[in-house]
Structure 1
Amino acid sequence: MSSDPVVIDGGDRSCVRLLLELRGHIAGLVPGTVIHLIAGDPAAPIDLPAWCHLTGHTYLGPLDGAASPTYALRVAADARATAPESPWRPR
């Protein structure tokens, strides 16, 4: 497990696009890796914890003092897959 978080800049992407991209990044990471996700979408504080609950990843919450809205999560070893075209539908 890496001690440094993996930073992913989601910019102003909509949460659906952001979650599809996030899912791709997570696929290659070691379980336990912490991700700092920069996300400007106003729905991110609601959608990210819900997606983590759905998939089994651990939502760690917003990072205080970050220059842009940034949220932390931990990659699960036994994450549940979602449909290829939709990050909200279990596979």
Structure 2
Amino acid sequence: MSQHPTPAADITVDGTGLLCVTLLLRLRQWIDSAEPGTVVHVIATDPAAPLDLPAWCHLVGHDYLGPVPGDQPAFALRLSADVRPTRPEAPWPPDLAP
């Protein structure tokens, strides 16, 4: 099975030291004006990031591309044009509010 290389980042978001909820709230702000198709690398040290980032991408509609090889724990995603809006105070869509 061949593995596809991770695309180069158009934007790199450094979430070092942030818990995933805070990271996702900030990530949403950092990518707010980016065009669909933009590749984002997210540096994330929270141990929950490998689960939370793909789940968040699935919930809102971005394409999760997987871990980025290298020395830092980083993950790649591609921004989609068909994104579900999220609540201002939470990183998930309103219909999924707890």
* SS of aligned partner of 2:35: coil
Q: Which residue of 1 aligns with 2:28?
A: 23
Which of residues 48, 51, 54 in structure 2 aligns to 1:46? 51
RMSD (Å), alpha carbons? 1.2
Contact residue 65 and residue 78 of structure 2 kept, 8 A: yes
Which blocks of at least 5 consecutive residues in structure 2 are unaligned? 1-7
Query: Please, what TM-score do these two structures have when normalized by structure 2?
Result: 0.84
Which of residues 72, 76, 80 in structure 2 aligns to 1:76? 80
Report the structure number with the largest CA radius of gyration: 2
- What number of residue pairs does the alignment pair up? 87
Greater than 6 Å deviation, 4+ residue runs:
none
Q: How far is the alpha carbon of 1:52 from its aligned partner?
A: 0.2
Contact residue 9 and residue 41 of structure 2 kept, 8 A: no
Residues 1:35 and 2:40 aligned together = yes
4-13 vs 35-44, greater mean Cα deviation: 4-13
Alpha-carbon distance in structure 2 between the residues aligned to 1:19 and 1:40: 13
Identical counterparts, % of pairs: 56
Which blocks of at least 5 consecutive residues in structure 1 are unaligned? none
Query: Please, what TM-score do these two structures have when normalized by structure 1?
Result: 0.90
